[in-house]
Amino acid sequence: MLYLATPSGPEVRDAMRAGLIGCMTTPAQGNRIPANTLIGADNGKFGTQWKGADHWYTWLTATVDRYGPHRFLFAVAPDVPFGAPATLAESRPWLANIRQLGIPAAFAAQDGSEAGLIPWEEIDVLFLAGSTAWKVGPAAQHLAQEASERGLAVHMGRVNSRRRLRIAEVFGCSTCDGTYLAFGPDRNLPRLLSWLAEIHQTPSLFSIPPR
């Protein structure tokens, strides 16, 4: 599993250059992405700096042109955090546009998306968003399993602990992201890398570790 973070500090950037972690970028993330780093492009809707879908798509197009489509793991279509029907309505018109840039289109699943609100044939990546309780619960796990059975990649957002990392692994996620390295990267980077090494060396057997 590849962890995506923002390039916040020289140690983190070195880890990205070495391929140990990837980069999650948004319209508000102004740091240059280190060479050869794999990229996930979030839309920035989960926050206060959203400037509209047209602004986001202009940014995404320029970012793909700058770094090359071959480096992109996915781009997340505009969503409505915690709102499944609204997310489907907002995301759907943009999925084909993302694919036209030559990169995989990700759909942000929210609480309630399990009720037939995933446009499976139009996406390449299932992004587990939504509330914390939902994204680590059985509904999200079942969606992740269905995505894997359909040959789609699965990503989990807001992964900031060893336990959450293990849950993402149990769910079959190939990537995840979080803000863990944005705070105290000198201390937290070695810790995160040790968690990732543990997962790669001793994968879980369909069980979620205790808190």
The number of beta carbons lying within 10 Å of the beta carbon of residue 63 is 21
Instruction: Please report, as a single letter, which amino acid is at residue 42.
Output: D
pLDDT-derived band at 206, boundaries 50, 70, 90: low
Asked if residue 166 is part of any domain, the answer here is: yes
The pLDDT tens digits of the residues spanning 52-66 come to 999 999 999 999 999
pLDDT at 178: 96
Integer-rounded Cα Rg, in Å, for the chain is 16
Query: What CATH number does residue 197 fall under?
Result: 3.20.20.70
Asked if residue 211 is part of any domain, the answer here is: no
pLDDT-derived band at 207, boundaries 50, 70, 90: low
Asked if residue 208 is part of any domain, the answer here is: no
pLDDT-derived band at 204, boundaries 50, 70, 90: confident
Sign of torsion over alpha carbons 157, 101, 22, 168: positive
Asked if residue 157 is part of any domain, the answer here is: yes
pTM metric for this prediction = 0.94
The number of beta carbons lying within 10 Å of the beta carbon of residue 31 is 13
The pLDDT tens digits of the residues spanning 103-145 come to 999 999 999 999 999 999 999 999 999 999 999 999 999 999 9
Instruction: Say if residue 200's pLDDT is above 60.
Output: yes
Smallest CA-to-CA distance from 29 within 54, 52, 53, 56 is with 56
Residue 161: give the domain boundaries: 2-201
- Number of domains making up the chain: 1
Length of the chain: 211
Query: Where does residue 210 fall: left (phi above 0), alpha (psi -120 to 50 degrees), or beta otherwise?
Result: beta
| Residue 62 burial by Cβ neighbours in a 10 Å radius (0-12, 13-18, 19+) | exposed
Asked if residue 210 is part of any domain, the answer here is: no
Asked if residue 109 is part of any domain, the answer here is: yes
